[in-house]
Amino acid sequence: MQLDRATGWFSGVTHCPSPNFNARPEGEAISLLVIHNISLPPACFGTGKVQQFFQNQLDPTEHPYFESICHLTVSAHLFVERDGAVTQFVSLLERAWHAGISRFGEREGCNDFSIGIELEGTDELPYTDAQYQALERLTREIRGAWPVIDLGRICGHSDIAPARKTDPGPAFDWRRYRAALQCNEDKA
């Protein structure tokens, strides 16, 4: 997978464009990476429902949980499934609707300046090796395009919206992820 910096789209991944995005504010620089988790229905994997959700195509009659969320218009830039397959919904140059009411440092409205990556999972279930490997590759490409995104500017949804969100949860191995990124930096 390789990022086309001119378009903000990755090659070597599935493209599934979402209507849930808009332009970043004029002059806004991308400077934050936010890690999330999602599974639909909760704790069910490989259903294709996340893709439907981010495209506003989720059928509320298929599962009781869907009825409570089908009205939401949300998206993420990228989604990493349990087997490491990556789907892109929004160009990284555009504003995906993943963070909601959020704050990083003194800045509110993290969607304006962040990239959102969803991992297929839950707060409690361990993520797969394939997911960590895909996430690390995506992160290296993103940081290559936006070097300001250092290790201190990579966070979880729970870090920018602590009163509302818990993801990626205690099952996410931050130490492993950061060590892999640090190892890559040391080799450069």
Residue-level pLDDT at 187: 59
Any residues with CB less than 8 A from the CB of 52 and at least 6 apart, and which?
58, 59
Reported as a single tens digit per residue, the pLDDT across 97-109 is 999 999 999 999 9
Q: Would you call 124 a catalytic residue per the annotation?
A: no
> What is the set of domains in the chain, with CATH numbers?
2-187 (3.40.80.10)
CA pair distance 161, 104, nearest whole angstrom? 9
CA dist list (Å): 104 to 99, 108, 163: 11, 6, 13
4-56: pLDDT as tens digits: 999 999 999 999 999 999 999 999 999 999 999 999 999 999 999 999 999 99
Would you call 128 helix, strand, or coil by DSSP? coil
For residue 186, the model assigns a pLDDT of: 59
By the 8 A CB rule, do 162 and 121 touch? no
Q: Which of 174, 162, 149 is nearest to 77 (CA)?
A: 149
- Helix, coil or strand: residue 104: strand
Both tokens of 15, joined, read: 């493209």
SS (H, E, C) 56-95: CCCCCCCCHHHHHHCCCCCCCCEEECCCCCEEECCCCCCE
The two structure tokens encoding residue 95: 């504003």
Q: Identify any residues that bridge with 14 across adjacent strands, giving them in sequence order.
A: 87
Q: Which of 118, 120, 141, 185 is catalytic?
A: 118
- pLDDT in the model for residue 81: 98
Predicted confidence at residue 188, as pLDDT, reads 52
pLDDT of residue 62: 95
Q: CA separation (Å) from 136 to 4, 58, 74, 141, 154? A: 17, 29, 24, 9, 12
Taking the model in full, what pTM does it have? Answer: 0.95
Tens-digit pLDDT profile for residues 148-188:
999 999 999 999 999 999 999 999 999 999 999 987 665 55
* Confidence bin at 66 (pLDDT 50/70/90): very high
pLDDT score, position 183: 75
**What is the phi-psi region of residue 114: left when phi exceeds 0, alpha when psi lies from -120 to 50, beta otherwise?**
beta
